Every structure is written in C-alpha cells, then in structure tokens.
Amino acid sequence: MAVAPNPTTPLDGARWSASCESSGRDGDEARAGLEFAASDGRIGGSAKEQLLEELVYGEWDEADEEEDEDWEPGSTLELRVRWFCVNCTMPNVEESTHCKLCSEHRYSGILNQGHLAPAFTQAGTEELAKDVKALKRLSVRRTAIGYDDRMLLHAEFQMKSNPHPERPDRLRSILAGFTAAGLYPGGCILIPAREITRVELETVHTHEHVEVVEATSSLESSYFTSDTYANGHSALAARLAAGVCADLASAILSGQVDNGFALVRPPGHHAEGATVMGFCLHNNACIAAKASQAAGAKKVLIVDWDVHHGNGTQEIFEHDPSVLYISLHRHEGGLFYPGSGAAHEVGSGPGEGFSINIPWPCSGIGDNDYIVAFQHIVLPIAKQFAPDITIVSAGFDAARGDPLGGCQVTPAGFAQMTQLLSTVSGGKLLVVLEGGYNLRSISASATAVLRVLCGEAPESLDDEELLPSEAGWATVLEVYAVQSRYWSALCLPAFMKFTSQHINGHLKASKRPKREKHPRVVARPIWWTWGRKRLVYKHWFGTRL
C-alpha cells in the first residue's frame, strides 16, 4: 500500500527520495492513484475536504474501498491532484488557485520576473515589476556572472510522485530576479562558459568518478543514488558548471574582475572525490579552489552556508592546510542530511584544524545566529588565515520558506554575510550557487547577494542588537571551545567578552518596564474626628478634612 508523502512537512534530500521510492510509481500513476469521486448530494463540502486530505496526504485504506463497492452515487465530482506549485513543488488540487504551502498563484510569473513577480496574482494581470532605481544604477565594482543556458538541460527525465526539487526552474527564477532588478545583463560582466577538461576535473575527482559521470551521456535516464539523477545532457551541464567556476576564480585572481557569481547547476558540495551524491555530480567549489591555486593563490578560504553540510568539500580538502573550509549547517546530532559536520570534525593530518563546522542543533535558525557566528567564529579565523581568495558555497536552502531547509535566514541576512566576507582576501570573492528549492526565496536571496557584490550596502537587519537564539549561542560556544585549540584569534579574552555580551543582551531583552508606583491612597476615616481617635487622625492626615 503506497503512502503519499505529506508535502506540508519539510523534507530533507534523503527523506524526499525515500518518499518517491515508497510510491513506486511514475508521475501519471501517482496522479491517477489520487483520483476519487464524491457524491454531490450525499457528502457535504467539509466531508469532501476531509476525504481529499486523507487521499492526498494520508493513507488509502483498501478495506474502506471494499465496503463502498455497493455504493452508487447519483452523480460524481472528480477531483485530482493535477498541478504542482512552480515555487515549492507542492501538489495541489485542480480547483485551487493558490499553493496550500506557500500561497504562490498557480500561474505565477516568478520564472519571468523572479522574486519581484506578484505572489498572489496571475502573471500578466499586473504591470511588470522592475527596480527602477536599480535600472539606473551603474555597478561600482567589476562583478562577473557565469551562466550558460545548456545547464538547464540537466533535468529528471521522468517525474516521480513530485517534481524533483533540484530543477532547471531554479536558475530561471534567479536569472529573472537579476534581470528585473537591473543587475543583469547591464550591471555585470558575463563570463562565457566553457567545458572543464578531464585533467582539471581529476585534480579534485578520481579518474573513475569522471568516467562514471561521463558514461551518463549515452543514457536517456539514470540514477547515481535514489535522489541524484542524470540524463543524456547532465555530464555536459556538470562540465559547464565546473568550467564556469574555474574561469571565474582565475579571472578574480588575475584582477580582470573584482568578484563573481557562478549561477550554475548541478550543484557540487556533496560530491566527494570518488562519489556522486546529494544532487551533486562534480564539486564546483573545490574545482574553483584548485583553479585559484593554479592562478597563484597560496591559501583559499571556502565558506559554505548551505543548510546541508558540504561533506564532499570537507572530504576532498581534509588533509590540505592550504584550504580552510568553514561550514554553517543544520546538523541535529547527525540526523539531518548528510549526517556529517559535527563540531569535532576538524580535519586530519596536516589539515587538522582547517575544517571548521558550525552545526546547528535544530530548525528555525535565523539571521542573528548566522551573523553572530560570522562575527565571533568565521571572521576572526578567516582574517588570521589570510586567504588570497574567498569562495562561498552559497546554498539558499537555509532561507525562510525553503521546503527542505526549515531555517529562517532572510535575503538581508545573506547580504550581511556577503558584506562581512568582502572584508576578507581584499574583496576577492566568488559566490557559487549550491542548493535552495523555494524559487521566490532563492531569487530574492541571490539578488540580495549580487547587489552587495556590485557595491551596494546591504539592507540592515531588524534586530540591531543581534541576539542569537539559545540554540545558536550554545553552538557558537561549542565551536569556540573546539577551535580555540587551533586558532589564537579565538583567545580567552575575546571568548569572555562574547559571553558577557550575550548574557547582558539577554538580560536587557528580558527586562520588563517597571510599573510606575503610585502613592497608596488611604481613605480618611472622618468618624475618627468624632471620638477618641481625633488626635491620631490629626497626626496622620492633618487638620484638613
């Protein structure tokens, strides 16, 4: 008996793929399996909704079906789960016009206008949203963008029960957001894409790994793992993505451009030296790091803010002290995909101390937690390391609204992190797209990051005091204790100052305004003036009545 996964619950990559496998059906069969008929006269509206909920989000009980075999309604109304939200991929019933999970309109214009498209109205019913101020702006920095339409050819050949979250529309929505914001193509330099060579790939991956990926070119459809697909164009898309990242890194190191944004897919940070996994074929950030070193960089910093730990990047550079890897990710004690990235994982051999993991213990982590971790862990260590270039594995699945991440980082939060990293390595900064599966969230977040790369000041955060959550604070303290053995920037005085600031901040936030004390009003017992207590009355209240 197949169970339809509940799309209102955020799923990580592993559970998402497991839900697809459990159905054991292709897209048409899955939709057909959700068909049902309800009597117009015998079942009321609320009962219909309840039945629909059970069929779409719950289990189908075959025993109930047998009991109803002798029931013949006079008329039937057929409802199907027929459309999937373009923004978050949630299945919705035919009669609805807005997504149940994210409220995006069924015919949203997000692929044409990105995050600037109206969320609740049909495309074409509103004027084209444009950032007029941005259209008149000239970038104060030489910012390059790497992109190629052929990366859109990498797509799941046959849909399972739901559209795959790592889909071509991710790039379309981001590019539409760049265009509507006036940042692309006029505000940036477009770097032409090229296919990476096998020699360059094998500086990061094994020969066997490269051969396995290339072999998919002759197959219409294939799967490396239950959630990592390929079609006949996937190897080409992966070569283009890696080539874009390598060329952008070289251009930044040589001074041709100041910084860059690699708008690429398939993503890469889960791909290990010999393993394809987690939607990732080749490790783009690692290839960019190797290209940077070939262009003259002696030390490379990789900061990974994707909500999932970059197990591939850590594994590839685990023994290499010339590459410092810092990852901020949801971990939950190893229960969140891919399970690696605990604070005590610090690298090994010559690379011990050059892997820094900031593992969030729960969902709901937001801007303040990330910024505090940047201020007290990431930046002090990064500046002590003094890299020649900084590469960001920029997954936007920690963004608010992402169906897999479950965190609360806003576009302003990503912009602030970008601004902080631009103070490292002389501003030589390469942002490489990784995950992110809510189209509106990734379009807004990527655009906010690109604005900072182009020289705009980031939007200020709502909470000026930047008080982290208790879970975020505990994580920063844990990492501080582990990494202070390797980095003198995390010295005891700085640690005590941070702890004092946090405690004072929370004490200040917890204070409540004191109620104004009013003098106690005591009713004057006038009758005392008539008897023996008149002297007491005179002493307490005076002679006036």
Burial of 225 (0-12, 13-18, 19+ CB in 10 A): middle
CA-based nearest residue to 292, from 204, 213, 351, 377: 204
Q: Return d(Cα 330, Cα 357) in angstroms, integer.
A: 10
Burial of 410 (0-12, 13-18, 19+ CB in 10 A): buried
Is 270 among the catalytic positions? yes
Read out DSSP for 436-477?
Answer: ---HHHHHHHHHHHHHHHTTPPPPPPS-TT-PPPHHHHHHHH
Q: How crowded is residue 138: how many other Cβ atoms within 10 Å of its Cβ? A: 8
Q: Decide: 530 and 545 in contact? Cβ < 8 Å.
A: no
Q: Decide: 291 and 250 in contact? Cβ < 8 Å.
A: yes
Q: Write phi, then psi, for 422 (nearest 5 degrees).
A: -70, -10
Q: Write phi, then psi, for 506 (nearest 5 degrees).
A: -70, -35
Q: Decide: 424 and 390 in contact? Cβ < 8 Å.
A: yes
Q: Decide: 399 and 445 in contact? Cβ < 8 Å.
A: yes
Q: Decide: 10 and 142 in contact? Cβ < 8 Å.
A: no
Q: Return d(Cα 458, Cα 414) in angstroms, integer.
A: 9
Q: Return d(Cα 399, Cα 448) in angstroms, integer.
A: 12
**Strand 429-433 to 259-262 pairing:** parallel
Q: Return d(Cα 528, Cα 539) in angstroms, integer.
A: 12
Q: Return d(Cα 498, Cα 184) in angstroms, integer.
A: 41
HEC assignment per residue over 302-322? EEECCCCCCHHHHHHCCCCCC
Residue from 164, 209, 269, 270 carrying the catalytic annotation: 270
In angstroms, the Cα distances linking 432 to 111, 125, 244, 298, 536 are 21, 34, 10, 20, 85
Element (H, E) at 84: strand 81-84
In angstroms, the Cα distances linking 275 to 79, 154, 315, 337, 376 are 43, 19, 11, 16, 34
In angstroms, the Cα distances linking 242 to 195, 197, 277, 285 are 7, 9, 16, 8
Q: Decide: 277 and 228 in contact? Cβ < 8 Å.
A: yes
- Residues labelled catalytic: 270
